Amino acid sequence: MRKLLYLLPFIILTASCGNSSTRGNEEWISLFNGKDLSGWDIKIKGYELNDNYNDLFRVEDGVIKAGYEKFEKFNGEYGHLIYREPFSHYRLRVEYRFVGEQAPGGESWAYKNSGVLLHAQSAASMETGQDYPVCIEAQLLGGDGAAERPTCNVCTPGTHVMINGQLVEQHCTNSLSKTYHGEEWVTAEFLVMGDSIIKHIVEGKVVMAYSKPVVGGTNKPADYPVPDGTAVKEGYICLQAESHPVEFRKVELLKLEE
């Protein structure tokens, strides 16, 4: 049973996904109800499941906020908001923005850094001191007003992917997106087809594509029970907080046929 917490090939119940809306013939599901964090689990490094340390995650004015007002100093309390239902084939649409100043003590690389994690392990299977879930990360970045810093890159904690027919083992690979320097809302969309093709789309433009994700490499627990080389066909959707305040205004999903 413990292994099932990581890959979870069980029945998906659409009734638990919240509100839905029809656009043409497409039935989009709102994973965020605009009121509270119903349907989501909170996992913060160093704390037990659903211990929302220092009110890191909350909903205000119809927006999911990850904020650090109650932190005197950030000490590696990496936070993850993980939806409780796994998905395999889908389109995901998220609107996000970075706001304010980074928390004192945050790493320099974590400046305007967040992520939408795809095919992640479940919140319940994460260890108390685990930095990040094993997943495929669509890395969200904001600019500093000067340097180029593309968003919707791909990072691979505990996984590897194929890009242009080559196995990529480095942790992060940059996308082709432009840099967003301010506090504007950015629309990111992800086309996820099981362990086949995955695409990152920013403001309607495909900026990253890769395929055949597998478990592999470091950045995972030493006793992770899923063997390296195992195809990653499904998993959980997760929103990340790494020391810079970030907001999510919309999280919508369209299920696709295999």
pTM above 0.75, yes or no: yes
Structural domain boundaries enclosing 44: 4-255
C-alpha distance from residue 56 to each of 35, 79, 80, 174, 199 (Å): 16, 8, 10, 28, 30
What's the token pair of residue 156? 């691979």
User: Cβ atoms within 10 A of the Cβ of 251, count?
Assistant: 24
Answer for the pair 207, 179: CB distance below 8 angstroms, yes or no. Answer: no
pLDDT of residue 218: 85
How does pLDDT run across 9-58, given as a tens digit for each residue?
322 333 344 566 665 578 999 999 999 999 999 999 999 999 999 999 99
Residue 186 sits in a domain whose CATH number is 2.60.120.560
Rounded Cα–Cα distance for residues 126 and 2 (Å)? 11
Count how many domains the chain has.
1
How does pLDDT run across 65-105, given as a tens digit for each residue?
999 999 999 999 999 999 999 999 999 999 999 999 999 99
How does pLDDT run across 55-67, given as a tens digit for each residue?
999 999 999 999 9
Answer for the pair 138, 119: CB distance below 8 angstroms, yes or no. Answer: no
